[in-house]
Amino acid sequence: MVARRATSEDAVTVDVVHGDGPAAGDGHGDVRHGQIALVPVDLRLRARVLALGPHPRQRRYSGVPSDTLPPAERDPAQYPVAIVEDGNPVGFFALQGGPGAGRLIRGRQEMLLRAFFVDATRQGRGIAPRALLELPRYIRALDPAIRRVVLTVNVDNGPAIRTYLRSGFVDTGELFHGGIYGPQHVFALSVPRAPAA
Ligand SMILES: CC(C)(COP(=O)(O)OP(=O)(O)OC[C@H]1O[C@@H](n2cnc3c(N)ncnc32)[C@H](O)[C@@H]1OP(=O)(O)O)[C@@H](O)C(=O)NCCC(=O)NCCS
């Protein structure tokens, strides 16, 4: 069980890459990167998260926080998370467990990742893969029972598909037809137990 709702004091720091570029394999050249952290959205971050959004043409893929954050806050089975760079929110997603997450989530050991985006002004800098790299550690801290994260991604959303596959998600081969914007792949990421100290 999750003992309490986390706050931004519980930020998990992910990664620091300066100078000669990002982690190997993300293909973003010599862009200078800040420190990325996954941080629970609480009152300190809320207004700045609500100001974020993807490009208008991408809204159909992730929604916008004004639509996705309030229901996540109201639902005790959802955990709204900010992607923070050098202390500034630059992206958002929500994790959801329980029956409300739908039929793709089977039991207590799985969570749905939803509403994931990087702000339009910050895309193309490798923020999403660096945030996703830290997801297992974040989820273990949230609920050590979780072993798998599942998401759906529209079949025409090439950049997101490549981002997830580069970040350890695998295509389950299943197609989800419940979205209003066409079929979606079902991807899953294993969450290994914490390495022994
Ligand atoms: C998909 C997304 C999360 C990637 O985040 P990111 O931090 O920009 O990731 P990266 O910098 O690693 O870029 C990933 C790819 O997107 C491309 N890209 C970046 N910004 C882009 C943009 N505005 N439009 C199209 N492609 C873009 C990059 O060139 C890269 O392409 P590649 O796979 O050919 O190398 C981000 O583009 C986004 O928020 N999209 C809108 C919301 C969305 O689709 N969410 C997924 C819901 S399932």
Q: What is the mean pLDDT of residues 105-122?
A: 96
Question: 89 lies in a domain?
Answer: yes
Ligand 1 centroid from CA 80, angstroms: 20
Q: Considering only CA atoms, which residue is closest to atom 12 of ligand 1? A: 126
Question: 23 lies in a domain?
Answer: yes
Q: What is the pLDDT of residues 64-103, one digit of tens each?
A: 999 999 999 999 999 999 999 999 999 999 999 999 999 9
Question: 193 lies in a domain?
Answer: no
Work out the mean pLDDT of the chain and round it to a whole number: 88
3-state secondary structure the chain: CCCCCCCHHHCEEEEECCCCCCCCCCCCCCCCCCEEEEEECCHHHHHHHHCCCCCHHHHHHHCCHHHHHHHHHHCCCEEEEEEEECCEEEEEEEEECCHHHCCCCCCCCEEEEEEEEECHHHCCCCHHHHHHHCHHHHHHHHCCCCCEEEEEEECCCHHHHHHHHHCCCEEEEEEECCCCCCCEEEEEEECCCCCCC
Per-residue pLDDT for 61 more than 50?
yes
Q: Choose the residue to mutate in 67, 118, 165 for probing ligand 1, maximizing ligand atoms within 8 Å of C-beta.
A: 118
Question: 190 lies in a domain?
Answer: no
**What number does the ligand 1 atom closest to the CA of 184 have?**
48
Per-residue pLDDT for 15 more than 80?
no
Residue 124 belongs to domain with CATH number? 3.40.630.30
Per-residue pLDDT for 144 more than 50?
yes
Number of folded domains in the chain? 1
